[in-house]
Structure 1
Amino acid sequence: LGLLANFGEATGLHLNQSKSSLAAIRCDDVDLPEVLQSFGGSLVDFPMTYLGLPISTTRLRLIHFQFILDRIKARLAGWKGRLLNLAGRRVL
């Protein structure tokens, strides 16, 4: 955590430990509790969500993104009829 503190002093950007989480990738040989004892954030596993998008160590399938497609379709449904003429709506 000394590195993050030094970074904060130099830049003015500080880590909010209550909002921070760590996802370890390929750390089977590492004693994570010992390494992270001063971190203060939570330890999470994969799959996880970051900025509203699913993240995984394996290949994601279409089903993992279906909620995004559903939101896009719902937003399109609200404005597509108002902004297009009749011929444009037929094409869409």
Structure 2
Amino acid sequence: MLQRNEGGKVLRGVQVCRRVPRVSYLLFADDCIVFYKALTKEGLKVTKILEDYERESGQKLYKEKTSLFFSKNAMEEVKEVVKEMFGAQIIHQHERYLGLPLLVGKGKKRAFNRIKDQVGRKIASWKGKWLSTTGQEILIKAIAQATSTYTMNYFKLPNSLCNELNSLVSNFW
């Protein structure tokens, strides 16, 4: 339904930069993230599509888990109107979804520093333990590599952060 209404004059999605296709939604297991401009007419169109979906599928939108995010350029009065339309709370840039940051700006290293902290804490807790070489290898693969690999499925990590992670693992090894 979103795809059918995409590309028109009312619901157009957003562009991350020039000369790239517009994105109007992303689907995850049982979640959907919808992107559109913070305009009343686009908000009305999206709510109509969601109401139609609820009616046709028999599924209901879980309003308590519905969240809105606005760019810093969105006008406050429009934010309030859209918030009332959806009956949802407004989230901010520092929040996370499935353990990952919702938005990553130019400060990628700062946004993903949590990975280095997690791996560092895990490795520090292993230091005093007498582990065989095999045990060390299993810990590194199961914890240290898995922690960063999950994030790397979705984001390109800065080389400096990857080097720091390698250094932590090498020092432990």
AA paired with 2:65?
Answer: K
Correspondences of 1:25-40 after superposition (within 5 Å) = 25=71, 27-29=73-75, 31-40=78-87
Name the SS for the 1:15 alignment partner.
Answer: coil
Identity of aligned residues (%): 20
Name the residue aligned to 1:17: 63
TM-score, length-scaled by structure 1: 0.61
State the Cα distance separating 1:7 from its structure 2 match. Answer: 1.4
From 48, 52, 68, give the equivalent of 2:99: 52
TM-score, length-scaled by structure 2: 0.38
From 31, 54, 57, give the equivalent of 1:8: 54
**Conservation of the 8 A alpha-carbon contact between 2:83 and 2:89:** no
State the Cα distance separating 1:58 from its structure 2 match. Answer: 1.9
Matched, 1:70 2:117: yes
AA paired with 2:134?
Answer: L
Q: Size of the alignment, in residue pairs?
A: 86
Distance 1:45 1:62 in 2: 19
State the Cα distance separating 1:46 from its structure 2 match. Answer: 1.8
Distance 2:82 2:135 in 1: 61
Residues 69 and 12 of structure 1: CA distance in aligned 2, closer, same or farther (over 3 Å): farther
Distance 1:24 1:16 in 2: 20
Q: Displaced runs of 4+ in structure 1, greater than 6 A?
A: none
State the Cα distance separating 1:39 from its structure 2 match. Answer: 0.9
Distance 1:5 1:85 in 2: 54
